[in-house]
Amino acid sequence: MSSASKKKTVLDRIQIIEDAIAKEREYLETGAHADWSAFRPLFADKVRDGKPLPPHKDWVKNFFIPSHERALRRAEKLLESLERSAAEKISSRRRLG
């Protein structure tokens, strides 16, 4: 996998995470996106009166958003290291060449 394709993959991942964080924050503010697939439970829906319940706002605030923020920091750190290694390769080629 080339450096450019790795960088594009990481940039795409960062965009996905940023979109998820925006949806999470909007859910906390307005209740929108309650049926978003990322909020769905892994095993069984919680149901009340035959309707699936939306995720608990405390869970979104205390777990879901922080985990996505950590993932965003890791992806940004990975992007920086990819850019740094690409710059080092270019500079080492100039020294050798």
> What confidence tier does 71 reach under pLDDT thresholds 50, 70, 90?
very high
Res 75: pLDDT: 97
0.85 exceeded by pTM: no
Tell me what percent of the residues of the chain surpass a pLDDT of 70. 96
Dump pLDDT digits (tens) for 13-38: 999 999 999 999 999 999 999 889 88
Mean pLDDT of the chain: 90
The one-letter code for the residue type at 53 is L
- Give Cα 81 distance to the centre of its chain: 18
Give the pLDDT score at 16.
97
Quick check: 34 and 55 in contact, CB under 8 A?
A: yes
